A and B are shown apart, each in its own frame.
Chain A
Amino acid sequence: MENRPLEYDYTVAKMFMVTTIVLGIVGMSIGVFIAFELAFPWLNTILGPDLAEYTNFSRLRPLHTDAVAFGFTVSGIFATWFYVGQRVLKVSMAESKFLMFIGKLQFWLYVIGVTAVVISLFMGYTTSKEYAEFEWPIDIAIVVVWVLWGVSIFGLIGIRREKSLYISVWYYIATFLGVAMLYLFNNMEVPTYFASGGIGDVMHSVSMYAGTNDALVQWWYGHNAVAFVFTVPIIAMIYYFLPKESGQAIYSYKLSLLSFWGLMFVYLWAGGHHLLFSTVPDWMQTMGSIFSVVLILPSWGSAINMLLTMKGEWQQVAASPLIKFMVLASTFYMFSTLEGPIQAIKSVNAIAHFTDWIVGHVHDGTLGWVGFMIIAALYHMAPRVFKRELYSKSLMASQFWIQTLGIVLYFTSMWIAGITQGMMWRAHDEFGNLAYSFIDTVDVLHPYYALRGTGGLLYLVGFFMFAYNIYKTMSARPVEESELQNASPMGA
Chain B
Amino acid sequence: MDINELAAYGYFFLIVFLVVGSYSYIYHLYTKKKDSSGVDYEHYSNMALDDDIDSTPVKPISDEKEK
B28-61 CB contacts (< 8 Å) to partner A: 29-30, 33, 39, 41-49, 51-55, 57-61
Q: Which residues of B contact A87 (CB under 8 A)?
A: 48, 51
Contact yes or no, B49 A252, CB < 8 A: no
Contact yes or no, B29 A162, CB < 8 A: no
Interface size grouping (class) on chain B: 20 to 34
Of B45, B49, B51, the residue contacting A90 (CB under 8 A) is B51
Contact yes or no, A254 B61, CB < 8 A: no
Closest chain A CB from B30 CB (angstroms): 7
Contact yes or no, B45 A250, CB < 8 A: yes
Question: Is the CB of A6 closer than 8 A to any CB of chain B?
Answer: yes
Contact yes or no, B29 A166, CB < 8 A: no
Instruction: Map CB proximity to B onto A7-44 as digits: 1 under 8 Å, 0 otherwise.
Output: 11000000000000000000000000000000000000
Contact yes or no, A164 B59, CB < 8 A: yes
Of B25, B43, B57, the residue contacting A162 (CB under 8 A) is B57
In the docked arrangement, what's the CA distance between A156 and B56, Å? 18
Given contacts A161-B60, A163-B59, A265-B18, whether A5 and B49 have CB atoms under 8 Å apart is no
Q: Which residues of A contact B44 (CB under 8 A)?
A: 164, 166-167, 253
Q: Main SS of chain B's interface residues?
A: helix
In the docked arrangement, what's the CA distance between A239 and B45, Å? 9
Q: Which residues of A contact B39 (CB under 8 A)?
A: 164
Closest chain A CB from B65 CB (angstroms): 8
Contact yes or no, A7 B61, CB < 8 A: no
Closest to B30 in A: A254
Question: Is the CB of A155 closer than 8 A to any CB of chain B?
Answer: no
Instruction: Map CB proximity to A onto B10-33 as digits: 1 under 8 Å, 0 otherwise.
Output: 000000001000100110011001
In the docked arrangement, what's the CA distance between A274 and B58, Å? 44
Closest to A95 in B: B53
Closest to A160 in B: B61
Q: Which residues of B contact A6 (CB under 8 A)?
A: 53-54
In the docked arrangement, what's the CA distance between A490 and B52, Å? 21
Contact yes or no, A90 B41, CB < 8 A: no
In the docked arrangement, what's the CA distance between A108 and B51, Å? 29
Instruction: Map CB proximity to B onto A155-194 as digits: 1 under 8 Å, 0 otherwise.
Output: 0000011111011100000000000000000000000000
Given contacts A239-B48, A483-B52, whether A163 and B42 have CB atoms under 8 Å apart is no
Given contacts A160-B61, A257-B29, A258-B22, whether A92 and B53 have CB atoms under 8 Å apart is yes
Closest chain B CB from A26 CB (angstroms): 32
Q: Besides the contacts A253-B42, A254-B29, what 5 more A-B pairs have beta carbons closer than 8 Å?
A: A88-B48, A91-B53, A243-B49, A253-B44, A261-B25
